[in-house]
Amino acid sequence: MHPDIEKLIELQELETRIRHATGRLARLPREIAAMEERLGASRSLLDRQEAELDRIAAERRQLEGEIQIIEERISKYRSQLSDVKTNEQYKALLHEIDYHGERIGKMEDEILVNMEKEEDLREERLLLERQLQKETAQVGREKQAVRKEIEETRIELDRRQREAGALIALIDPEIYGTYRKIATVRKGVALARAAEENCQGCHVRIRPSVLGQVMGGKQIVYCDSCARILYWQPDASPVSK
C-alpha cells in the first residue's frame, strides 16, 4: 500500500472519532439541562401545592376570625335580652341571635370542608416531597456521570487531536491537501476501500484498469464516480452486503 494512504486511513479513523467526540461534547450539556428542567418542573409543582395550602389555610383563619366577631355580637345580644322593655324588642333580639347562629353554623361547615382539603393536600405534598427528594438524588447521580463523561471525552478529544496533528505532519502536504478537500465535501470520508470491484464509498463499479492501479499501490488513485481516494486492503474483513 502507498505509505501516505496507510497514514490517511489512520487519519480518517482518528477524525471520525474526533467528530463523534465533538458531537458528544455538544450533546452532553444539553442532557444536563434536560435533567435540570425535569427537576424544575417537579419543584414548581410542589411550589404550586404549597401556595394552594397557604391559600386554604388563610381562608380558614379568615373564617375563624369572622366567627369570633359574630360570637361576640351574639353574646352582646344575649346580655341585652334582660334589658329590653317590649316583647317586640325581645323577639327582634332573639331573631338576630338565631340568624347569626345560623351564619356561624354555615361557616363552621365551610371550615370542615376546608380542613379536609388541607389534609388531602398535606398528604399529597408529603408524597411530592419524597418524590422530589428521590428525583434530586437520581439527577445528582446522572449529572455526575455525564460530567465524568464530558471530562473523559475532552481528554480523549485532546489526545486524538494531538495524534491527528502528528500524523498530518508525516503525510505529503500535497496529498494531505487533496485529502482535506475531499473530506470537506464528503462529510469527512475522503478514502474509500476498493472491494469486490466496487468503490465502497459510492458503490459504483471500478474500471479494471483503475482497480489494477489501486491494487498496485504505487500512486494515489481516485474513484471516477465520487472522487474519493481508493485503497486496496485484501486482508480486511469482507464487505457486508
Return the closest-CA partner of residue 185 out of 214, 154, 213, 222: 222
Q: Interface mask (CB under 5 A) for Zn ion, residues 180-209, using x and -? A: -------------------x-xx-------
**Beta carbons within 8 Å of 16's beta carbon, 6+ residues apart:** 188
CB of 182 to Zn ion, least distance (A): 10
C-beta of 114 vs 225, nearer to Zn ion: 225
Q: How far is the CB of 202 from Zn ion (least distance, A)?
A: 3
Q: Which is nearer to Zn ion, 166 or 239 (CB)?
A: 239
Q: Which of 22, 49, 178, 225 touches Zn ion (CB under 5 A)?
A: 225
Distance of CA 92 to the CA centre of its chain: 70
Stretch that binds Zn ion, among 24-32, 102-110, 207-215, 224-232 (CB under 5 A): 224-232
Which distant-in-sequence residues (6+ apart) come within 8 Å of 208 by Cβ?
197
* Shortest separation between residue 235's beta carbon and Zn ion, angstroms: 21
Q: Which of 1, 9, 175, 226 binds Zn ion (CB under 5 A)?
A: 226
**Between residues 67 and 192, which has the closer beta carbon with respect to Zn ion?**
192
Q: Which three cell numbers stand for residue 111?
A: 371550615
DSSP string, 187-238: TT--EEEEETTEETTT-PBPPHHHHHHHHHTSS-EE-TTT-PEEE--TTSPP
Which residues sit at the interface with Zn ion, rule CB under 5 A?
199, 201-202, 223, 225-226
